[in-house]
Copies of this chain bind each other. A is one copy, B any other.
Amino acid sequence: MLSETDRKLLRVAYDEALAGYEEGGCPIGSALARGDELIARGRNQRVQQGDPIAHGEMDCLRKAGRQTSYRDMTLYTSLSPCMMCTGTIIQFGIPRVVIGENQTFEGNIDFLRERGVEVVLVQDPDCIALMTRFIREKPALWNEDIAEE
């Protein structure tokens, strides 16, 4: 179930993605929240910082800093998580993930659910449109980001 708070926080993730697009980067953004309290927001930093591990979700979790527990948090992401980010969600014990879309990149939603993570998949038109545009404009950068050759 998507609440009003969820919609607002998914929009934060989208705004991060859009900022990344405008910087020339991979437009994938994320937010971490406890209820309606925003803990951190982040976006893919491959181009901006030359950092291959800083996918949107990872940059957000880095910016959240050290936490003793993620058990009462939700992670918002504009795009379905890759295996790195999926493994991180599981390892960190994040119980709930709200995903903007998985039409441009399938990700690992089944695996998250198998491991007990609640997944809300939105198929947000703005998230889809932004990634579609990016993949069309910069296919080599996108393939590098997901290590497709």
Contacts and interface: CB of A to CB of B under 8 A. Distances in A.
A64 to B, nearest CB: 7
Interface stretch (A13-21, A87-95, A121-129): A87-95
Contacts of A84: 84, 87-88, 91-92
Ordered nearest first, which 7 A-B pairs have the shortest CB separation?
Answer: A87-B87, A83-B91, A84-B88, A83-B87, A84-B91, A83-B90, A84-B87
Contacts of A54: 62
A73 to B, nearest CB: 11
Contacts of A38: none
Given A46-B66, A84-B84, A146 B91 contact: yes
B71 A82 contact: no
B62 A149 contact: no
